[in-house]
Chain A
Amino acid sequence: MSLQNEEMEVIIKVKRFSQDKGSWWQEYKLKVDRFTQFTEALRRIKTEQDPTLAYRAACHMAVCGSCGMKINGEPRLACKTLVIDTVKKYGSNVITLEPMDYFTPVKDLVVNLDDFYERMYKVKPRLYPSEEVLKGEAEHRLKPEDQRMLWKFAQCIWCGLCVSSCPSVRNDPEFLGPAAHAKGFRFLADPRDTITEEREKILLDSAWRCTYCYMCYNVCPRDVEPVTAIKKTRAYTKLAKVKSPVIETGEKHTQAVFESIFESGKLEEAKVYLSTYGVIGSLRDMIYLLQSGKLKYALVKEKPVENISEVRKILRGE
C-alpha cells in the first residue's frame, strides 16, 4: 500500500489587510506535496517566507474551528483542504485565499467573530437539567437513537463559515443565523432539558426567517446541516402559544404551498405569494420582481399536472 506522492509548485495569492494600509494581494510561491493542507502551507509561508502574515489555526484536524476562510472563493476550513486537490479541482496552480465574508476583517485572514459569538450566546447554548439530575440524585438516561440525532447538531465547531455565507443573516437583523439555530435545536430537542418553552420563544420566530437556500448545508465542514435544524425547529410552531407575525406568515406560506400543490400538482408562485402576504404585501414584492426582471415567472398560469389525483393522495398521506 505504498502511497504515491506528487510534488508541485503553486502560487498562493493571499488577500491581505491591515487597518492602516487597507487591502492588497500578495503572492507566495511554494512547493507542496499531495498531503499538504492549507494550514501547513500557511505555517510554512509564515516561518520560511513572510512572518508578518496573520491567520488563525490550531488543531489542523478540523475540530477546533479556527481556520475558516475562502479558498478560491469557496468558504472552507484551511486544514481540511489539501492544496493539490484544489489545484486539480480548479485546473490551476494559482490559488486565492481570502478572509471569510460578512465578518469585519481585522488583519489578513483574521476576522472579528464577536458577532458570531453573540448569536451563539443568544440561544442559551447549554443544557438546563433538573435540579435532581444536577445534584446526582436522579439519572436521565438518553436513548441511543436520541444521542445519535442530537450529536449530529451538537458537532458544530463554531467556525462561522455558515454564517459568513448565509444571505438571511445579512438581510435580517432578527435572524439568529444557521449555527445558532443548530445549537439551539440541539438543546431544544434534548429530552433532559427543562427550559423548552423559553427556547421556543428564542428560536421559533427566527426559524421562519431562513430562506432555505441551503448555503449553510453546503459549506458546513462538519455536516451539521443547520437548515435541517431550522426545519425541525419550525415543526415546534404547532405547539407554540404566542405566534409572531413572521411565524404566522410562515405558516400561511407553508399552507399555501400545500394548497397550490394539492390543486395543480405544481408550485404556483403567484398564488402562494398572494395567500401568504396578502394583496398589499404581494404588490410590494411585485414591484421588486418587476425591477429585477423576474415578474414574468410569477405571472405564469399553471395547468394541473396530469396525474394530480396521485399527488393528492401523497399529500393526504395515503
Chain B
Amino acid sequence: MEKVNYDVVVVGAGLAGLMASHEIASAGYSVAVISKVFPTRSHSSSAEGGIAAYIEGNSDPNDNPDYMAYDTIKGGDYLVDQDAAELLSYKSGEIVRTLESWGTLFNRQPDGRVAVRYFGGQTYPRTRFVGDKTGMALLHTVYERTSGLGKVDFYFEWFAWELIRDDSRVRGVVAFDMRNMVPVFFKAKAVVMASGGMGMLYKHSTNSYINTGDGYAMALRARVALKDPEFVQFHPTALYPSDILISEAARGEGGILRNNKGERFMARYAPKKLDLAPRDIASRAILTEVKEGRGFPGGYVGLDLTHLGEEYIKERLALAYEAAKSFAGIDATKEMIPVRPAQHYYMGGIDVDITGRNPDLIGLFAAGEAACVSVHGANRLGSNSLLETLVFGRETGRAVVEFLRSYSEPSSDIDKEAEKAEQTAYDVVKRESGVHFGEVVNKLREVMWEDVGVFRTEDGMKNAVSEIMKLRDMAKDTYVLDKSKVYNTEFYNALEMKNMLDLALVIAVTALNRKESRGAHYRLDYPKRDDENWLKHTIAYLRGNTVEITYKPVKMTKWKPEERVY
C-alpha cells in the first residue's frame, strides 16, 4: 500500500478540522486534511442561525461570560463540564473578532459593530449571524484563510476508513482516494478527528447526506471510548416533510409556534420562555400536541412569522423564507410554515478533555461535533456548536502543537495493521451476492427514529438493540454491485453503513442503560432527572458485539444543579 508521512492528519474539513489545521500549520508542522467532500461542502455550511458570543463592549450591558456559561450549563441539564463551558464563553468574543478580521461578513448594527439576536435558552441575546447562512459564511472564510497559508495539503473526496494504532499510540489513518479507490496509509504523529455528526442514522434529520458518523465508528474500532453517546438532539422546527431546518433564528426573531386551533401552545410547556425554550422542550411539546390531536394531518404544527413583516423576514430569515417557498410551497410572509422535530445534532462523541486530547490513545485528538468535550451536556443550546467548532478547533490545534514538541519516534512497525484495514474494506467488494447497503440503512434509520428518538421507553430501546444486532448480521452479507474503481460511491456507502451500525448499537445500548430523563434523553418510563444516580458521564467502548459502559464524574466549578425550568 502506498504511504505518505505527515506530522498530523486531520480527518474532516468542516469548521473544526480547518481551524485545527490552521493552528497546526501556522506553527510550522505538516498537515494533511482528509475530507469526503470539497471543504466548503462540509456540513458546517448548512448552519443557519448564528454563533453565540459575548463580546466586550458589544453585548447587553447586564450580560457577562459567566451568565453565558450558566445558560450553557443549565441548557445542558447539568451534564456539562463546567470548566469547558467557561472556556467556551470566555473565548467567544475573541474568536468572533478573529473571524471578523479574516473577512466574515457578519450582519452589522448601524454603527458598524457586529449585530446580535436572541436564541433559545439565552438570558441575554448573544447570537452573531450572517443572515441565516452563518455556517456557510464562516466555513468559506476559514477555508479561504487556511488554504491561503499554502501549507496545508487538502485531500478532498478521500474517504478515511480506519485509525491505525499500536499498543498505546495512534500511528495514522488508512484512507481511499474516491476517484480511483486507491488506499493510502497516512502515517502521522497525531490525528485530529473532526469528522462531524451522524444525522443519517435517523429517518428524519436536518443533517447533510454525508453525516454518517464515520469518525465515531473509527474511534470505537480503535478501542477508543465515546462519551455520553445516548444524547441525540432533535430540532423542533424542521420543515414538513423534507426535514430541512427552519433555523431557531425564526423563533429568536419572534416566530410563534401554533397548533391547529391557532393556540400559542408553548405557554403550556415553558410559561416564561415560551417559544424560546430550549430544543428538547420545544420538540416534546410539538410531538405532544400532535399526539393529542392538536397538530395538522400528517403530524406537524405551524411556525407563524406573518406578524414580522415581509421586509424583515426576507432580510433576516432569507433561508427560512426560501426553504418554505421552494420545498413546501408556502409563502411565510402570509402563511404559517409547517414544522415538526427531526434529528439535528449529536451531543455524544469521542471522549476528550478541554484540550481536545483523548485519554485512551496517545496522539488522538478530536474537535467539533465528532468530539464530546463536553460543553453541550444533555442538550446543546442553539448557536453554541459553531462556537465550539472554532474555539475547541483552535484549542485542539494548540494542544497538538504542544504534543508534537515533545514527541519521540516509536520503534515498532505497523504497516501490517494498515494492510489489514485495507482488507476489511475490500471484503464488501469481493463478495458476489447478498444484500445492498440501501436495504440495511433504510431499516436502521427507521428503527432509530421509532425507538431511540424523542420519546424513549425500555421496550422500544430493547427492540432497537435486537434489530440493530440483526442488521449487523445482515451487513456481513452486503456486497457491492458496482465493480468499477472510478468514483465508486456504492463502495463508500457500504463502508458508511458499517460505521452507522457500530455507532447505532452504542447509542441504543447506552440509552437503554440510562434510567432517567435528562435533556434530550427523555424516557417515558423514567420521566424525572435523577442527580443522585445519574449525574455522571457515560463512557462506552465497543468490543465486538458488546458495549462496555463505565462512568466519569461531571466537572463542577461554580454552579450547583438546580431544577431546569423555563
Give the residues in chain B near A140, CB-CB below 8 Å.
Answer: 101
Q: Are B43 and A59 in contact (CB under 8 A)?
A: yes
CA distance A55 to B438 in the complex (A): 15
Q: Are A110 and B103 in contact (CB under 8 A)?
A: no
Which of B241, B245, B489 sits near A61, CB closer than 8 Å? Answer: B245
We find that the number of chain A residues with CB closer than 8 angstroms to chain B is: 64
**Closest Cβ neighbor of A4 among chain B residues:** B329
CA distance A35 to B330 in the complex (A): 11
Q: Are B208 and A64 in contact (CB under 8 A)?
A: yes
Which of A33, A43, A58 sits near B37, CB closer than 8 Å? Answer: A58
CA distance A140 to B326 in the complex (A): 37
Would you give the shortest CB distance from A8 to chain B, in whole angstroms?
A: 15
Q: Are B108 and A35 in contact (CB under 8 A)?
A: no
Which of A126, A141, A158, A190 sits near B113, CB closer than 8 Å? Answer: A141
CA distance A18 to B338 in the complex (A): 42
Q: Are A107 and B487 in contact (CB under 8 A)?
A: yes
CA distance A143 to B105 in the complex (A): 11
Give the residues in chain B near A65, CB-CB below 8 Å.
Answer: 40-41
We find that the number of chain B residues with CB closer than 8 angstroms to chain A is: 75
Known interface pairs A64-B208, A155-B133; A1-B103 also in contact (CB < 8 Å): no
Give the residues in chain B near A136, CB-CB below 8 Å.
Answer: 94, 97-98, 101
- Most chain B CB within 10 A, of A47, A61, A157, is at A61
A-B contact count (CB 8 A): 179
**Closest Cβ neighbor of B41 among chain A residues:** A64
CA distance A129 to B101 in the complex (A): 7
> Which residues, 155 to 208 on A, are CB-close (under 8 Å) to B?
155, 157-158, 187, 190, 192
Stretch among A144-152, A266-274, A293-301 lining the B interface: A144-152
Give the residues in chain B near A190, CB-CB below 8 Å.
Answer: 103
CA distance A124 to B482 in the complex (A): 39
Question: Is B486 located at the chain interface by the 8 A CB criterion?
Answer: yes
Known interface pairs A1-B336, A63-B46, A64-B208; A141-B438 also in contact (CB < 8 Å): no
Which of A2, A51, A59 sits near B45, CB closer than 8 Å? Answer: A59
Q: Are B480 and A59 in contact (CB under 8 A)?
A: no
**Closest Cβ neighbor of B36 among chain A residues:** A58
CA distance A33 to B328 in the complex (A): 11
Digit string of A287-314 for contact with B (CB within 8 Å is 1, else 0)?
0000000000000000000000000000
Digit string of B76-113 for contact with A (CB within 8 Å is 1, else 0)?
00000000000000000010011001110111111111
Digit string of A112-152 for contact with B (CB within 8 Å is 1, else 0)?
01000100010011110100011010011111100100110
Q: Are B40 and A2 in contact (CB under 8 A)?
A: no
Question: Is B323 located at the chain interface by the 8 A CB criterion?
Answer: yes
Which of A3, A51, A141 sits near B493, CB closer than 8 Å? Answer: A51
Q: Which 3 A-B pairs have the closest CB atoms?
A: A47-B438, A141-B112, A127-B103
Selected A-B contacts with CB under 8 Å, 5 pairs: A57-B209, A127-B141, A129-B103, A133-B101, A143-B108
